[in-house]
């Protein structure tokens, strides 16, 4: 899941970013509306966590623009303005959800996950292939009944391959969906993660490397 957090309070922004990464999400964090707009135009985010009172481009303006563009990104407004009028106005601008500060972090994670499910085609709660079973809600992975302990990146890559249902997925697409904007495409991060994932999945290797194209489950 790819998430953009636009929040002008540095401490809160770092806390939210760190917590969402710990929850297995690929997260970019920005502190002003101009940078948020630039990233939202460049990358395909599942969810934008948007502070309403951003410097540069105001959160209301960014919300209205993104909603009008037809982008699939879902918008969660995160703001201290919590009156009924504020909530109605925020939703009227095109926001998909509205969470007032202060908030409980588990609720933020749950709302982002719910919005992400609306941003993409429905994914079954269980994905299965070649003896591999992934419980997407519990983030639990087994192969032939053997429980596997995967890192967030390994889990994200495996889930993307399972969702592709045998179709090839390029390294660029994996990097786009499972890493944040700071990932260097020349570091070999996808190749290294794929190698570690294969080691944990064991034999026979269920992942096929297609030269010049990418990876697919076989």
pLDDT of residue 119: 60
What is the rounded average pLDDT of the residues 34-58?
Answer: 91
What is the rounded average pLDDT of the residues 140-147?
Answer: 93
Helices assigned H by DSSP within the chain: 10-22, 33-42, 59-69, 84-92, 105-119, 152-164, 171-178, 189-201
pLDDT of residue 138: 80
What span, in angstroms and rounded, lies between the C-alpha atoms of 128 and 113?
A: 21
Of 13, 33, 9, 32, nearest to 21 by C-alpha is: 13
Q: What is the pLDDT of residues 101-120, one digit of tens each?
A: 889 999 999 999 889 877 65
pLDDT above 60 (res 5)? yes
CB 112 within 8 A of CB 86: no
pLDDT of residue 202: 93
Cα angle for residues 183, 23, 57 (degrees, 5° grid): 60
pLDDT above 70 (res 121)? no
Q: How far is CA 210 from the centre of its chain?
A: 26
Query: What kind and span of H or E run contains 97?
Result: strand 97-100
Of 65 and 88, more confident: 65
pTM: 0.66
Residues 6+ apart with CB under 8 A from 186: none
pLDDT above 60 (res 123)? no
Q: What is the pLDDT of residues 160-212, one digit of tens each?
A: 999 888 899 998 889 888 887 667 666 788 999 999 999 999 999 999 999 98
**What structural domains and CATH numbers belong to the chain?**
2-119 (3.40.50.2300), 126-217 (1.10.10.10)
Q: List, in sequence order, every beta strand (DSSP E) within 144-211.
A: 146-148, 207-210
């Amino acid at each position: 899941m790819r998430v953009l957090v636009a929040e002008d309070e540095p401490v809160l922004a770092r806390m939210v970013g760190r917590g969402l990464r710990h929850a297995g999400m690929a997260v970019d964090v920005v502190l002003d509306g101009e940078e948020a707009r630039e990233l939202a135009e460049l990358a395909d985010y599942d969810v934008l966590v948007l502070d309403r009172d951003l410097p540069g481009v105001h959160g209301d303006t960014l919300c209205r623009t993104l909603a009008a563009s037809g982008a699939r990104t879902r918008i969660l407004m995160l703001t201290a303005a919590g009156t009924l009028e504020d909530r109605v106005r925020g939703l009227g601008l095109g926001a998909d959800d509205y969470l007032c500060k202060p908030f409980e972090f588990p609720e933020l994670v749950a709302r982002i996950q719910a919005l992400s499910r609306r941003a993409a085609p429905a994914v079954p709660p269980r994905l299965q292939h070649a003896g591999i079973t992934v419980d997407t809600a519990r983030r639990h992975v087994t192969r032939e009944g053997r429980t596997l302990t995967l890192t967030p990146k390994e889990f994200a890559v495996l889930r993307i391959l399972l969702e592709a249902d045998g179709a090839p997925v390029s390294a660029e697409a994996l990097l786009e969906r499972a890493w944040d904007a700071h990932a260097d495409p020349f570091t070999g991060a996808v190749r290294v993660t794929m190698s570690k994932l294969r080691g944990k999945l064991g034999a026979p290797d269920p992942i096929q490397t297609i030269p010049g194209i990418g990876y697919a489950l076989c």
